[in-house]
Amino acid sequence: MLVLNNIKKIFFKGTVNEKVALENLNLNVAPGDFVTILGSNGAGKSTMFNAILGAYPVEEGNIFLDGEDITFKKDYKRALDIGCIYQDPMRGTSPHMTIEENLSLAYTRKAKRSFFAVNKHDSAYFKELLATLDLGLENRMKTQIGLLSGGQRQAVSLLMSTIAGPKLLLLDEHTAALDPATAKKVLKITTEIVTKNKITTMMITHDMNYALSCGNRTIMMDEGQIILDIKGEERASMTPEGLVELFSAERKKQLTNDRMMFSMQ
């Protein structure tokens, strides 16, 4: 459902600061896949997401979503089909609007309905959705979202990003700024939401354990390319240590000398 075909992205092209961030990047994600993405700092993970989102044009290659070539499609049009949640809980929500107003904005955007006030029917639906988070937020629907904790905000962001049924959900280290217990809870909620709604998902993480425990496929990036792609039985029996060894062998380098920053809590 998502195909990346020979993607190349260069920053500061033709200058002394030229940086090839993605090169020969190929990926084929099947409908319903939940792909976790690992890689060292600067490997190109966020750049890949930005290329999919249309934040900037790519130098070479094509991007297909559900068979449609979206390579030259405007970012705001892609946003109707692709949800994204970032590390910073402040991003993606309107802090001075209430929880229910934020949900309503996300809900009505794709339906091309005007946003005036939250109607009773929608309000009941939002309450039901919030209750599934099990954070008590269904009783705080009139609370400004800026007053919520980081974890609560990320949980609401998950609802906002999935409420209009996106084709693809991109999670860019969306639990990295949360304490370990909250991160675990938000990941549990993430898995529940994407599984229930059958949303094709890609999640960047630096945590090897989460990379293997969430989703059905793990890819590892290095220098703008995918160097490992693990799924099925191989993944089911994979350990974080095994991943490190595989990565190490692939790069023919020892990870101790590497810039990789993986936590193995």
Ligand X SMILES: Nc1ncnc2c1ncn2[C@@H]1O[C@H](COP(=O)(O)OP(=O)(O)OP(=O)(O)O)[C@@H](O)[C@H]1O
Q: If binding is defined by CB under 6 A, does position 47 make contact with ligand X?
A: yes
Place of tokens 């974890």: 151
Stretch that binds ligand X, among 37-45, 60-68, 107-115, 238-246 (CB under 6 A): 37-45
Q: If binding is defined by CB under 6 A, does position 41 make contact with ligand X?
A: yes
Out of 27, 35, 43, 53, the only residue in the binding site for ligand X (CB under 6 A) is: 43
7: enclosing H helix or E strand? strand 2-11
- Please state the closest distance from residue 41 (CB atom) to ligand X, in A: 3
Number of residues in contact with ligand X, rule: CB under 6 A?
A: 11
Determine the residue type at 124.
Answer: A
Q: If binding is defined by CB under 6 A, does position 175 make contact with ligand X?
A: no
Q: What is the DSSP string of 200-217?
A: EEEEE-SBHHHHHHSSSE
d(CA 21, CA 219): 17
Nearer to ligand X among residue 74 and residue 259 (C-beta): 259
Q: If binding is defined by CB under 6 A, does position 21 make contact with ligand X?
A: yes
Q: If binding is defined by CB under 6 A, does position 87 make contact with ligand X?
A: no
- Please state the closest distance from residue 44 (CB atom) to ligand X, in A: 4
CB-based contact 33:6 (threshold 8 Å) = no
21: enclosing H helix or E strand? strand 19-29
Stretch that binds ligand X, among 45-53, 116-124, 181-189, 245-253 (CB under 6 A): 45-53
- Please state the closest distance from residue 93 (CB atom) to ligand X, in A: 21
Nearer to ligand X among residue 97 and residue 176 (C-beta): 176
Quote the tokens at residue 124: 């009941």
Nearer to ligand X among residue 52 and residue 155 (C-beta): 52
- Cα 101 to its chain centre, rounded Å, is 23
Out of 8, 42, 62, 125, the only residue in the binding site for ligand X (CB under 6 A) is: 42
CA angle 85, 210, 263 (to 5 degrees): 100
109: enclosing H helix or E strand? helix 99-111
Stretch that binds ligand X, among 42-50, 69-77, 98-106, 139-147 (CB under 6 A): 42-50
3-state secondary structure of 15: coil
Q: If binding is defined by CB under 6 A, does position 44 make contact with ligand X?
A: yes
Q: If binding is defined by CB under 6 A, does position 35 make contact with ligand X?
A: no
- Please state the closest distance from residue 128 (CB atom) to ligand X, in A: 35
| SS3 letters across 28-72 | EECCCCEEEEEECCCCCHHHHHHHHHCCCCCCEEEEEECCEECCC
Residue numbers at the binding site for ligand X (CB under 6 A): 11, 19, 21, 39, 41-47
